[in-house]
Structures are given as C-alpha cells and as structure tokens.
Amino acid sequence: MHGIEEVRSVLSTPKNILITSHRNPDGDAIGSSLAMSQWLKKKGHRVMVAFPSEYPDIYQWMPGIEDVQIFDVDPEPIAAFCQHLEVSIILDYNSLARIDKLGVFLENRDLYTILIDHHLYPDPIGDFILSDTSASSTCELVFRFIEVFDRSNLTDLNIATCIYTGIITDTGSFQYSTSPALFRSVAALQEIGLDTNAIHDRIFNTMDEKNLRLLGHCLANRMEIIDDFKTGIIFLNKHDFQVYDIQRGDTEGIVNYLLKLKNVHMAVFIRQQPTIIKISFRSKGDFSVEEIAKNYFNGGGHRNAAGGYTKSSLAATLDLIKSILPQYKQQLNKPIL
C-alpha cells in the first residue's frame, strides 16, 4: 500500500483527527467513519466524526454513533475541535464539494490528509490516498487499510459490525461489486463474531408501516416505464412528502425496485425536496449512470449507482430525463445477460 509508512509515522504519536464523510451519509459513509474512529481511539488518538447533514434513523443502533457531530445541527463543537486539528480523514467521498461548508475546516491548512474512497474520478486531495473504484465499499477499504497498518489487529466486534454494515448496504447484500477479496474480508470479520442476521434485521427489517405504504404508493401511482429505452422512473412531489411524512432515509432503497423488472436497465428516482430536486440512478450491466449524473445533474457516483440534483422544476426534470434517453437508446437496449 503506497505511502503507508508515512501514515504510520504520522500516527505514531497521538493526534487530533477529524473524520468526515458526505452529505446524507449512507451505511458505508457511517460505517467507515465509525470503524475508523473506534480503531484510532484504541490507538490513543483524539477523534471526532463529523457529517454535513443528519443520518437516517435506521443507523441509530450503530456502535459509536452517539459521538457523531452534525454540522447542519451544531457547527460549534466541530469548529472548536478543528482549531487544533492535525489529521483529516476523508471517507466515502472524493471532492470537497460533497461536504459543503464543512470543507472550510479542511482547506488551506497544514493538515495531513488521508483519503479512502471507492467513487470514480477522485479529486487529487490527500497526502495518502487509498482510492479503489473496484472496491465494494469504503468499509472494505478501511478494513484493508487497518489490516495492512495494524499487525496487532485491533479490529473488535464493534469495528467489525460497522465495517460489515457498509459492505452490505453498498453491495445490496452481496448482489453487486463483490470479489474474492471482499468475501475473504467478510470471512475474517465473521471470525471476530459478527451476528450477521441481527445486523441485516436492524437495517432491512425495521421499516415503519408508513414506509411500506410509501413504497406501495410509489409502485402503484408514481412509476412510469418507458419500454423503448428500458427505463423506469419513479418520482415523489412535495405533496407526497407531506402526505407520507417522508423523513431522512425513508426513500432509501425504493429506486432498486425498478430494477426488479426484466425490461428495466436503468432506474431513475426523483424527489422534489424543499430547495432542490434530488435524483438517484441505478443500472444493470455496463450502462453507466455515473455519466448521466455527471453530465446532466451536477452529480457522480459509480457506474451502476449514481446521484445528482437540479434546481429546476419537477416537470422540467422529468422532461430533461426523457429528452436524453434517445441518445442512449442502443446502450440501454443492449442485452444484459
């Protein structure tokens, strides 16, 4: 692992370390941050985990989450901690634009920066960069980093639980982005004593009734299938957000239902939020939704899972998406299997 000796020397004495991850943190962002934080604390460092915005309730059970600071909620403790910051660790994102105002604490400073991420096209930020776009998740990479760094193996059950959470959320429970290396890592994690059943239940089987009804509404009333371009679209407008009392995280996973259709190769899920329209893209096969998110919606991500946003109206967003489909007709109609 290139540069690991330099990291080893930086971390050889106790440091003040800020771990950050992206806005609307998901299981991988949260899992990698909490795993890294607990490991560094065991090594004697002073660590703060800070996210730009709040995390979904379904992750409230995760070990160490009570110490997470949210910039949108209260920037003060983060600002205070950053006055004596020595090391910045960037996890599960690769451009400071993804952490908004939290980025001011990481810019123009004499900081040692570590970046660990698996998204495409990383900005060149970081003195040590572990960027592997073929990895399933940032959690997989954090575990790889810990194993290479730490022969004494300080991975305990809490750290293993956090890492496993990011792996299953970013792979759709081992459906995609898997590799022999990933399964070897998971085997090592399970040897520590993971209760995988309980973790899956906590993440995937704790829906509120209103969320399942929201899913029903999306599938029955808000889904459009465009056969010519093998594209499925679901949208939710402001009114839906009120009626279904949609909170952070409540729409997680809905986009994936579109991919269950034999004839859908690209799934698009559009949410009309108070100030922006947020869009999630998913695809099957080698069709790159990352390209669409980047070129048309200020976004990015991975080939088969990407996201972005627009500031235009819901109707204009739907029109724009439909207008770009024809140029991808051939790629979208390519057989998957």
Q: Out of 70, 265, 308, 332, which residue is the one contacting ligand 5GP (CB under 6 A)?
A: 308
Tokens 């893209």 map to which residue? 281
- The span from the CA of 136 to the CA of 132, in Å, is 9
Residues 253-292: x/- map of binding to ligand 5GP (CB under 6 A)? Answer: ---------------------------x------------
Asked whether position 307 contacts ligand 5GP by CB under 6 A, the answer is: yes
> Which residues 113-132 are close enough to bind ligand 5GP by CB under 6 A?
119
Q: What is the spatial distance between Cα 18 and Cα 86, in angstroms, rounded to a whole number?
A: 8
Q: Which of 301, 304, 317, 321 binds ligand 5GP (CB under 6 A)?
A: 301
Q: Which residue in 51, 159, 300, 321 binds ligand 5GP (CB under 6 A)?
A: 300
DSSP 105: G
In the complex, minimum distance from the CB of residue 98 to ligand 5GP, in angstroms, rounded to a whole number: 6
- Residue 117 binding target from ligand 5GP, Mn ion, none, CB below 5 to 8 Å by type: none
State residue 313 phi and psi, 5-degree precision. -75, 165
Rounded Cα distance between 326 and 80, Å, is: 52
With 0-12 / 13-18 / 19 or more C-beta atoms within 10 angstroms meaning exposed / middle / buried, residue 221 is exposed
Gyration radius of the chain over CA positions: 20
Minimum CB separation of residue 253 from ligand 5GP in Å reads 9
The binding track of 58-97 with respect to Mn ion, each residue x by CB under 5 A or -, is ----------------------------------x-----
Q: Which residues contact 329 (CB under 8 A, 6 or more apart)?
A: 228, 229
The DSSP string of 197-214 is HHHHHHHHS---HHHHHH
Decide if 151 contacts 43 (C-beta within 8 A).
Answer: no
**Sites for ligand 5GP among residues 16-75 (CB under 6 A):** 22
Please say which residue, 92 or 240, places its beta carbon nearer to Mn ion. 92
Catalog residues that contact ligand 5GP under the rule CB under 6 A.
Answer: 22, 98, 119, 280, 299-302, 305-309
Catalog residues that contact Mn ion under the rule CB under 5 A.
Answer: 28, 92, 138, 170
